[in-house]
Amino acid sequence: MASLHTYINRGSHKKIDLPLSWIEETSSKLTPELNEALQRMKLDDEWKSAYLLAMLCPDKKSAEQFLGWLDKLDTKQMKALFAEYSHPYPDDLEQYRTRITALLREWHLQYFSKLDPAIGHALEQEAKARSKMLQKLPAESAIDETTNGLMFRPLPGMSQLILIPQYHFQPRNIVYHFDHYIVCFYNARLYFGDPDTIPTPDLNLLRSLGEKNRLKILRYVAEKPRTFIEIVRYLGLSKGITHDHLAKLRNAGLLYAHLEGENVTEYSIRTKSIYQVENKLLHYIEARP
């Protein structure tokens, strides 16, 4: 889901760690029919419905199992599943199920099934490591370490937070709120590049500090949590530029993003990441091939 989310989220292609060449290379591997269908897709309520179905699938250890489950769902069953949530679902459920299943299956066949197995293995190891961490640390600390600074505020009726590591949308996160639970496909901070080159997550951290307005933001939110509008007014910059600065600081793990559901309400400083800057830089410099 996260790989297709990344592909159709055209506004984020220049903001993720994967190079633009990934889009071009992936597009060249897809049939014209699938490319055309994906060009029409948007990150709208219908796409969010696909995420909800993925979460509701009773056995989702593999893409094949999820797709097989979708194939067998009828309109009555889908309506019963969606009826338990306030999320608006498509009017013509049978047409929607047929279309979204076909798109997901073709994406799986033409792209996901051919993905480097090292990526899937690394994600599995990440998930296992974080599960062990949850057993040792308080929940809030484990969530912080896992998501690199996301703080989920308890909401009325919310009973579950599901954290799933993802690779394609790094360094960003995908967060969806479905009534009593929140699902977060978090930036797993995986790196498969040249071992002689500083890992991209560490480079993002160092780069994020190389701009005076970002340093001003850090000093401003160090006093107390601040809203987006407060930060815009403090900097005297446009909302767009301010948002970009905040995104780079968030992606680097230098800010806590306080969320209510899917929405960020405030930002505060994540001091522990500032202390890590020296260690990460020295670790790279002193490492020997």
Q: Taking residues 235-246, what's their average pLDDT?
A: 98
Domain map of the chain by residue range?
2-114, 120-187, 200-286
pLDDT at residue 61 in the model: 83
The answer to whether residues 150 and 143 touch, using CB atoms and an 8 Å cutoff, is: yes
Long-range contacts, 220-224 (Cβ 8 Å, 24+): 221/255, 221/267, 221/268, 221/269, 222/269, 222/271, 224/268
Task: Report the share of the chain in percent with pLDDT over 70.
Answer: 99
pLDDT above 70 (res 76)? yes
Long-range contacts, 223-231 (Cβ 8 Å, 24+): 224/268, 225/256, 225/258, 225/266, 225/267, 225/268, 226/266, 226/267, 226/268, 227/265, 227/266, 227/267, 228/264, 228/267, 231/267
pLDDT tens-place string over residues 160-197: 999 999 999 999 999 999 999 999 999 999 999 999 99
Which of 47-51, 96-100, 153-157, 202-206 has the lowest average pLDDT? 153-157
Ramachandran angles phi, psi of 50, nearest 5°? -65, -40
pLDDT above 90 (res 60)? no
Q: Taking residues 86-99, what's their average pLDDT?
A: 94
Please state, in angstroms and as integers, the Cα–Cα distance from residue 224 to each residue in 79, 210, 256, following that order.
45, 23, 11
Please state, in angstroms and as integers, the Cα–Cα distance from residue 240 to each residue in 44, 229, 246, following that order.
21, 12, 10
pLDDT at residue 288 in the model: 63
pLDDT at residue 59 in the model: 86
Q: What is the rounded CA–CA span in Å between residue 155 and residue 179? A: 9
Instruction: State in words which class domain 200-286 has.
Output: mainly alpha
Task: Report the share of the chain in percent with pLDDT over 90.
Answer: 95
Question: How, if at all, do strands 255-260 and 263-269 pair?
Answer: antiparallel
Q: Taking residues 123-132, what's their average pLDDT?
A: 97
pLDDT above 90 (res 140)? yes
pLDDT tens-place string over residues 14-44: 999 999 999 999 999 999 999 999 999 999 9
pLDDT tens-place string over residues 268-287: 999 999 999 999 999 999 98
The answer to whether residues 88 and 48 touch, using CB atoms and an 8 Å cutoff, is: no
DSSP, collapsed to helix, strand or coil, labels residue 80 as helix
Report the mean per-residue pLDDT for the chain: 96
Q: What is the rounded CA–CA span in Å between residue 248 and residue 160? A: 28
